[in-house]
């Protein structure tokens, strides 16, 4: 939705708001995971990546700024993967 809107030079208000809401939702949901990772920063790293991505998306206005958007999105994907592996490991499941 965001990439399509930016490529077609459409209004970015709705895609930016959706990213903001989804990031906030994920940050809230991952708070529940802290009981599995009380002394680990894996939840915080994921939440920080989501927050950065939301901020970058909010400040992206044209295709020339997509490098930062893609990098911050990649950071979200990487940190979520790490979080998933850690959680599965704590549960004794190998992936």
Which own/partner pairs from 4-11 qualify as long-range (CB within 8 Å, at least 24 positions apart)?
6/60, 6/62, 6/63, 6/66, 7/63, 9/62
> For residue 94, what pLDDT band results from cuts at 50, 70 and 90?
confident
Count of structural domains, the chain? 1
Q: What is the pLDDT of residue 90?
A: 81
| Domain assignment of residue 95, yes or no | no
pLDDT at position 20:
97
Global pTM exceeds 0.85: yes
What domain range includes position 75?
A: 2-90
Q: What is the mean pLDDT of the chain?
A: 91
> Does residue 37 lie in a domain region?
yes
Question: What is the percentage of the chain residues whose pLDDT exceeds 70?
Answer: 99
61's CB contacts (< 8 A; 6+ apart) are 12
Q: DSSP H helical segments within the chain, as ranges?
A: 2-7, 13-31, 42-58, 66-90
């Amino acid at each position: 939705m965001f990439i399509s809107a930016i490529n077609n030079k459409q209004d970015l208000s709705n895609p930016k708001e959706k990213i903001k809401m989804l990031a906030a939702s994920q940050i809230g949901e991952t708070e529940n995971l802290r009981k599995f990772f009380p002394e680990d920063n894996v939840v915080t790293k994921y939440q920080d990546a989501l927050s950065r991505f939301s901020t970058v998306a909010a400040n992206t206005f044209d295709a020339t700024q997509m490098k930062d958007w893609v990098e911050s999105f990649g950071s979200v994907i990487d940190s979520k993967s790490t979080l998933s592996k850690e959680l599965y490991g704590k549960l004794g499941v190998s992936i």
